[in-house]
Amino acid sequence: MAPGDTAGMTAGPIAVTVEEVPAGLTYPLRGAVLRPGRPVEIAGDDEPDTFHLAARTPAGQVVGVVRFHPAACSWRPDARAPWQLRGMATDPAVRGTGAGRALVAEGLARVAAAGGDLVWCDARVAAAGFYERMGFAVVTEPYEKATVGLHLGMVIQLSPRG
């Protein structure tokens, strides 16, 4: 391999910064990782309460994205202020280096600061272990979602119930 030719190399740990961004900035990675062949926009992307986060490398490259928005949770109807996590994706080149964790941690902190008491998601089965590492718990049997495959309902409680 020629010096400086890093194509195809596995990335080592990288420092990412996480910040709130307009929905459109998350679309290239969201589309490529989660929605190939499907519209990249998700209903509610531009709602005032929805927020989108991006993880960037020091060079400014977006290597992770996620969105959070207030939404009722059918598995936790007693939740006072539930929010949904959607559109979670990291660049395959940085997986396992903490970008996903940084995004979820920042999102949960922001939801808690906004008064949310619970965050839930339809977790792809292959990603359930990641959400468990973030503190989420599985609360459903596996269920099918059209065109995407098996999912598990997962929740994390942010403040005591009641």
The footprint of ligand COA (CB under 6 A) covers 33-34, 88-90, 95-101, 123-124, 126-127, 129-130, 133
Specify the residue, 115 or 139, whose C-beta has the smaller distance to ligand COA: 139
| Contact by Cβ (8 Å): 118, 63 | no
- Percent helix, strand, coil in the chain (nearest 5)? 25, 30, 45
Report, in Å, the least distance between residue 2 CB and ligand COA.
29
* Tokens 């559109």 sit on residue: 87
Q: Nearest-CB residue to ligand COA?
A: 129
Dihedral sign computed on CA atoms, order 70, 72, 74, 78: positive
Specify the residue, 32 or 72, whose C-beta has the smaller distance to ligand COA: 32
Report, in Å, the least distance between residue 148 CB and ligand COA.
9
Specify the residue, 28 or 115, whose C-beta has the smaller distance to ligand COA: 28
Structure tokens at 83: 């929010």
Specify the residue, 81 or 105, whose C-beta has the smaller distance to ligand COA: 105
Report, in Å, the least distance between residue 125 CB and ligand COA.
9
For 10-25, give one letter per residue: b (16+ CB within 10 A) or e: ebeebebebeebebeb
Residues 6+ apart with CB under 8 A from 123: 131, 136, 138, 151, 152, 153, 154
Specify the residue, 50 or 90, whose C-beta has the smaller distance to ligand COA: 90
Report, in Å, the least distance between residue 44 CB and ligand COA.
16
Residues 6+ apart with CB under 8 A from 133: 101
Report, in Å, the least distance between residue 146 CB and ligand COA.
15
